Amino acid sequence: MTFQQSYVFVVLAVTLGLFIWGRWRYDVVALLALLAVVAGGVVPANRAFEGFGHPAVITVAAVLVISRALQNSGMIGWIARWLDRVDAGPSVQVAAVGGLVAVLSGFMNNVGALALLLPVVIQTAKKSGRAPGELLMPLAFGSLLGGLTTMVGTPPNIIVANFRADVAGAPFGMFDFTPVGLVIAIAGIAFMAVYGWRLIPVRQARSGDGDMFDIEGYTTEVLVPRKSGLSGTAIGELLAHAGDGEVTVLALVRGTRKTARPKPAEALRINDHLLLEGSAEAIENILHNSPLQLVGNRDLDRKDLEGADSGVVEAVVSPGSRLIRRSIAQAQLERRHGLHLLALARQGRPVREHLRKVKVRAGDVLLLQGDMDSMPDRLAALGCLPLGHRDIALHREPTPIPLLIFVAAIILGVTGLLSLPVAFTAGVIALVLSGQMRAREIYQGVDWPVIVLLGAMVPVGLAMEASGANVLLAGGVATLAGYLPPWGIVALVLVAAMFLSDIMNNAATAILMAQLSMQVAERMNVSADPLLMAVAVGASCAFLTPIGHQSNILVMGPGGYRFGDYWRLGLPLEALIGVIAVPMIMLVWPL
């Protein structure tokens, strides 16, 4: 083993460890890996950023933009409304939820499809008298299964399709993934509908307040301001007059002294801090009917809360949000965005700390108050998805133009008149010229951390090739595969990709595994197509953990799930997919 090979293996090991650790964002980790291979002399400096011009990167960016246009067109939102009328048993509802999101995910970004349906599914669960947790995990998993069916359904498919051009001279086509992916998607959704939903841990709320989703309540911190007239008022008296019996005082903070569960007879003093717990409506009610002030919102008074255009929205923090790992004080939510944090819940439980000091995590559910006219833009800027007010996501005049442009781009790509990267880029330009998107919305529609990840990891793959590390690693895998039957080789690649995608970004998994699979196929003198298909399937089947895919994280808070809940449904689902995928791949793409 040469020095360069050893160096590349060390860089890959550290990169994989940082991906698993999750402390730093995956795009930052990818850039560090890129800088490392350049600094080590493995990749020339003048080729360091070639990855950002790779066809897979261009295609992913264009598809993300078109997906945003489809989501905002109102057309798909109109189609989604029928789900709100489905009132049947859990199996039928799971099948409807999983089937609809799978169809949408086959032709648009799966996170976008989930974001579109998330508030609808929550409302459906509420109307049916069920906990949203019964439907939200199938919604997330269905979005991943749907992405398997077409090339544009998920970034790993796009990556694998373009890497295939290196060995076959042409990438996989738009629907080359369909024969295998469609069978897997149908089988997976059927399993969840018939039996899988019974494996999902469902936690009912204690409060029974009928909120949109079953969390035990929100906690928020308020201040007894000077000139409030509350000095000497008993806590119980305040709650009786300003609340409706659904708010609990968890703690009273007076100076440096903190009293847990103060007695109702305890008299309030100026500058006392109260930590309140209750439903969304109850907390809003007490802020309406008393001079209490939200901590940190000293300029917020009853007129703010009672404004004609003011309202309260429940929103979930997406994985790419700028709030993650920052406190509300650091984010300056009120000053910069005009939003006031009333409460925060995490994994279905209230956060019982000083809210302005709590570090926000992906999947947290925020109770936000602000101007409703500007709320959609503000939530989008923060990277949050609305839950409480479905009109934000769905109240748009439907237009078929974005859908027609998307179909035209697909036809141009499939017929070979244009390459798919060019066809989808032309589709983006058509959206702008037709007035369906403003030019600045193009950049808002791109998930830039994913683009940076892809652009940085492509040269890292080049480093493996330049140093010969991929040949060395492929030789070891090929030796092991020599003891296996043909289907065993495909199964080995599939399981390895599944494992990696459960602990790191699926796009990074696709890049690393695609490089390795092509080398293994070359060493064994077999077709690379079945191995690449195994990579595509495995990289998109991240069902064991919430960190494996953005869709899993987004439903974690609203569904009240814990980290260890996902494998209960995810493990048998991955086993089923393995049993079905291997023979299907061997049938459609023989070695």
3-state secondary structure 432-482: HHCCCCCHHHHHHHCCHHHHHHHHHHHHHHHHHHHHCHHHHHHHHHHHHHC
Output DSSP code: residue 82: G
The pLDDT score that the predictor gives to residue 44 is 92
Crossing angle for the helix pair 486-503 and 529-539, to the nearest 10 degrees = 30
Higher pLDDT, 267 or 392: 267
Q: How far is CA 350 from CA 210, 389, 499, 559, in A?
A: 16, 20, 32, 14
Would you place residue 78 in the very low, low, confident or very high pLDDT band (cuts 50, 70, 90)? low
Mean pLDDT along residues 412-435: 91
Q: What is the second-level CATH architecture of the domain 218-386?
A: 2-Layer Sandwich (3.30)
Assess whether pLDDT exceeds 80 at residue 358.
Answer: yes
Residue written as tokens 């897997």?
Answer: 184
Residue written as tokens 């906990």?
Answer: 131
Assess whether pLDDT exceeds 70 at residue 441.
Answer: yes
Question: Taking the chain, what is the end-to-end CA distance rounded to the nearest angstrom?
Answer: 30
Tokens of 294: 């939200």
47-56, 79-88, 261-270, 425-434: the lowest-pLDDT one: 79-88
Rounded to the nearest angstrom, the gap between the alpha carbon of residue 519 and the centroid of all alpha carbons in its chain is: 32
Would you place residue 300 in the very low, low, confident or very high pLDDT band (cuts 50, 70, 90)? very low
Assess whether pLDDT exceeds 80 at residue 35.
Answer: yes
Would you place residue 307 in the very low, low, confident or very high pLDDT band (cuts 50, 70, 90)? very low
Q: Mean of the per-residue pLDDT values for the chain?
A: 84
Helix or strand holding residue 124 (H, E): helix 110-128
Mean pLDDT along residues 321-326: 87
The pLDDT score that the predictor gives to residue 244 is 56
Closest-CA residue to 294 (of 323, 322, 331, 334): 334
Assess whether pLDDT exceeds 70 at residue 211.
Answer: no
Assess whether pLDDT exceeds 60 at residue 305.
Answer: no
pLDDT digit string, tens, across residues 124-172: 887 788 888 899 999 999 999 999 999 999 999 999 999 898 888 889 9
CATH 3.30.70.1450 location in the chain? 218-386
Would you place residue 210 in the very low, low, confident or very high pLDDT band (cuts 50, 70, 90)? very low
Assess whether pLDDT exceeds 60 at residue 394.
Answer: no
Burial of 174 (0-12, 13-18, 19+ CB in 10 A): buried
The pLDDT score that the predictor gives to residue 217 is 56
Would you place residue 294 in the very low, low, confident or very high pLDDT band (cuts 50, 70, 90)? confident
164-178, 270-284, 316-330: the lowest-pLDDT one: 270-284
Burial of 552 (0-12, 13-18, 19+ CB in 10 A): buried
pLDDT digit string, tens, across residues 212-245: 333 445 677 888 888 888 888 888 888 877 655 5
Would you place residue 72 in the very low, low, confident or very high pLDDT band (cuts 50, 70, 90)? confident
Which ranges of 289-438 does DSSP label H, i.e. alpha helix?
A: 302-305, 328-331, 333-337, 375-382, 391-394, 401-414, 420-433
Residue 493: partners with Cβ closer than 8 Å, 6 or more residues away: 513, 517, 520, 531, 534, 535, 538
Mean pLDDT along residues 555-571: 89
